[in-house]
Amino acid sequence: MMTWRIGTVISTGRSWRGARELEVTLDRPLPGRDAAGQVTEAETEPATVRALAYTDLVGDPGPGDALLLNVSALARGLGTGGYALVVGPASAGTPLPPDPEPGPGHLVKARYTPLQTMVLGVDEQESPHHATLADADSLDGMPVIVADLHSALPAVVAGLRHAHATTSRSTDELRIAYIMTDGGALPAAFSRTVAALRDADWLTTCVTVGQAFGGDLEAVTVHTGLLAARHVAGCDIAVVAQGPGNLGTGTRWGYSGVAAGEAVNAAATLRGRPVASLRVSGADPRDRHLGISHHSLTAYTRVALAPADVPVPAPDTGLEDRPAWGAPLTHRIREQAQALAETRHTLVDVPTDTTLLDTLRTAPGGLRTMGRDLDADPASFVAAAAAGIHAHRLTTSTTGTA
């Protein structure tokens, strides 16, 4: 939650490229804090505080200007930064949201930006789960599916549910965690996909890590996010992918999804079972993304230093005749996949058929990637679902529930 104030500039201070310090008087006092950091009665006089304006974002304010300020860190008494952060111009008397209720949590996400927000981290000292995570060091063999696009998430989960429905003898529902990294959108609330999956109980929990925020649980790193999924949320499987809105430049390394390789390393380091979901397309007009995307090949052959299982969809009946699929695409995928087998990974053939398409069509919120739906590019979603099917096999072989 954020604490807002309107401040009037008294004077300007030091400046450096892209930033200027200001002295401002707040329209209302900051909440007081006692020695233990608990909220006390507010000061009787409005505070004069230092503020920081990022001039490329909000302009260069001067004396007398009224500004909208994010004072969350100051209100919590954090020394970090020590500034009120300028969000933009304001008018005196502008209605502001009420101050958040006092509570634990001092993890700052979107740090040092005008919209930084404070949350309770599952792994911080104020968390009731701190003792659980303080020395946690293993995922106990939990499968961790890694994907580079947010759009893969519902297809991966559909694959898990498809396998569970067709092969499991257990009546228990799978407990699935989504670990949202900060390569794309930072707010989890931006993702209608996550909201739809949570509302339909297709996901047990969403854990936002790094600078991402707004999940059911908040964590500092992918590592603690995975450990929280296992030991706090009690999940059987985790899916790691960036939020919506990946960043790409058409170059080998200038792509936010390269971090998928680092997620493979994290899963292996914590003694999980990494499963590398392939980004596949049969309809992308760009040759570098046709078949297995060059981004998957870079992330898994160059960045991932730990071995992973790489599920490769093996179309059975009815799929190879689909538009944007066909035998040439299957041949291209298998040929490209050899580059992964020649490094350190294990290729796993996963049979797929039209019944999987039926399951994919039930995904809450629908399926769409790079502007294409399931009918326009079935290979994209079947490849992601294949990772879910294989991860389910790993879960049942470990737990003996199937």
Token code pair at residue 325 = 């699929």
Q: Where are the domains of the chain?
A: 4-119, 133-399
- The answer to whether 320 and 326 have CB atoms below 8 angstroms apart is yes
Nearest to 74 by CA among 104, 113, 39, 31: 31
Q: Rounded to whole angstroms, how far apart are CA atoms 176 and 170?
A: 15
171 — pLDDT class (breaks 50, 70, 90): low
Q: Rounded to whole angstroms, how far apart are CA atoms 373 and 186?
A: 24
Can you give the three-state secondary structure of the chain, one letter per residue? CCCEEEEEEEEEEEEECCEEEEEEEECCCCCEECCCCCEECCCCCCCEEEEEEEHHHHCCCCCCCEEEEECHHHHCCCCCCCCEEEEEECCCCCCCCCCCCCCCCCEEECCCCCCCEEECECCCCCCCCHHHHHCCCCCCCCEEEECCCCCHHHHHHHHHHHHHHHHCCCCCCCCEEEEEECCCCCEHHHCHHHHHHHHCCCCCEEEECCCCECCCEECCCHHHHHHHHHHCCCCCEEEEEECCCCCECCCCCCEHHHHHHHHHHHHHHCCCEEEECCCEECCCCCHHHCEECHHHHHHHHHHCCCCCEEEEEEECCCCCCCCCCHHHHHHHHHHHHHHHHCCCCEEEEEEECHHHHHHHCCCCCCCCECCECCCCCHHHHHHHHHHHHHHHHHHHHHHCCC
pTM of the model: 0.86
Give whichever of 25-34, 78-87, 140-149 has the largest mean pLDDT.
Answer: 140-149
pLDDT above 70 covers what percent of the chain? 91
Give whichever of 95-104, 219-228, 335-344, 350-359 has the largest mean pLDDT.
Answer: 219-228
215 — pLDDT class (breaks 50, 70, 90): very high
Helix orientation angle between 260-269 and 222-231, rounded to the nearest 10 degrees: 50
What is the mean predicted confidence (pLDDT) over 40-68? 83
- CATH label, 133-399, candidates 3.30.70, 3.40.1800, 3.10.540, 3.40.50: 3.40.50
230 — pLDDT class (breaks 50, 70, 90): very high
State yes or no: pLDDT of 36 exceeds 60. Answer: no
What is the mean predicted confidence (pLDDT) over 168-176? 76
Chain mean pLDDT for the chain: 89
169 — pLDDT class (breaks 50, 70, 90): low
401 — pLDDT class (breaks 50, 70, 90): very low
Q: Which residues contact 318 (CB under 8 A, 6 or more apart)?
A: 353, 354
pLDDT tens digits, one per residue of 103-160 = 888 888 998 888 888 899 999 999 999 999 999 999 999 999 999 999 999 999 999 9
Give the position of tokens 């001039």: 55
State yes or no: pLDDT of 399 exceeds 60. Answer: no
State yes or no: pLDDT of 385 exceeds 80. Answer: yes
pLDDT above 90 covers what percent of the chain? 62
What is the mean predicted confidence (pLDDT) over 84-108? 84
What is the mean predicted confidence (pLDDT) over 204-214? 96
Q: Which CATH code fits 4-119? A: 2.40.50
What is the mean predicted confidence (pLDDT) over 217-221? 97
243 — pLDDT class (breaks 50, 70, 90): very high
